[in-house]
A = this chain, B = another copy of it.
Amino acid sequence: MTDPTANTSLPVDQPALDGTAGVASADLPALLEALLLVAPQPPTIDELARGAGVDPAEIEDALSRLQERHGRGWVLQRHGDTVQFATAPRFAAQVRRFLNLDREARLSGAALETLAIVAYQQPVTRAEIEAVRGVDCAGVLATLHARGLIEQIGRLPTVGNPIQYGTTPDFLRHFGLGSLAELPSLGEVGGRDARGALEAAVAAAALEQPASS
């Protein structure tokens, strides 16, 4: 046996008891590492469960254990039902140098405002965004779409079937987020919970929508 990982001083290092089908629960995070590294596309929880031969619930549990491991060079990113590795944000500068990438252009104030509404309030329509910002947002939305930060994630079943926007996996990576749950907390504005204010704004815009579109 030449596998260096066979040196099992920690319980987590126990190799699977059965090499063909099941895998010890303690070894499941390591198995998920292997599967996430070979996956040609970001896999879903169900695909991981099928590959690992365990229940989706066990995958979720193992993923959270994997996420908690420190000192790793990568982080888990969840987008919808899919999971993938991305490099740890603290290494962004080195990764850019390694890949010969220039830093992306900074986002403008308008782009950040629009992106913030999409990120915190998705799915959201252009009319809703414009109602909150008070200005036309067609150009900004086109720019954000071209940069791969937002995408169409649905259509409203109202007049004109307006497009609903949401953020992409690239959005998570650009901002070094593991998932939308890691968006920074908004705190308070004007004596109100900012998150609630944002929700109220979009909700108010949504009420006007059937008439306006």
Please indicate which of the listed interface residues A11, A51, A88 has the most CB atoms of chain B within 10 Å of its own CB.
A88
Chain B binder among A69-77, A155-163, A191-199 = A69-77
Report A48-68 residues with CB < 8 Å from chain B CB: 48, 50-53, 61, 64-68
In the complex, the count of this chain's copies comes to 2
**Interface digits, A73-116 against B, CB 8 Å rule (1 contact, 0 not)?**
11100000000010111111111011100000000000000000
User: Measured between C-beta atoms, what is the minimum distance from A147 to chain B in Å?
Assistant: 19
Chain B contacts for A27, CB-based, 8 A: 71
A7 touches B70 (CB 8 A): yes
User: Measured between C-beta atoms, what is the minimum distance from A26 to chain B in Å?
Assistant: 8
Please indicate which of the listed interface residues A1, A4, A35, A50 has the most CB atoms of chain B within 10 Å of its own CB.
A4
Nearest chain B residue, comparing its CB with the CB of A32 = B73
Chain B contacts for A3, CB-based, 8 A: 12, 29, 65-66, 68-69, 75, 88-90
A37 touches B74 (CB 8 A): yes
Answer whether residue A5 sits at the interface, using C-beta atoms and an 8 A cutoff: yes
30 CB contacts below 8 A, A to B, read A1-B61, A1-B64, A1-B65, A1-B68, A2-B68, A3-B65, A3-B69, A3-B90, A4-B10, A4-B12, A5-B12, A5-B70, A5-B75, A6-B90, A7-B70, A8-B71, A16-B90, A19-B93, A20-B93, A23-B91, A33-B72, A33-B74, A34-B91, A34-B94, A35-B73, A37-B74, A38-B99, A43-B98, A47-B98, A50-B98
Interface residues of A (CB under 8 A from B): 1-16, 19-21, 23, 27, 29-40, 43, 47-48, 50-53, 61, 64-75, 85, 87-95, 97-99
> Which A-B residue pairs are the 5 nearest by beta carbons?
A51-B98, A33-B73, A13-B71, A34-B73, A34-B87
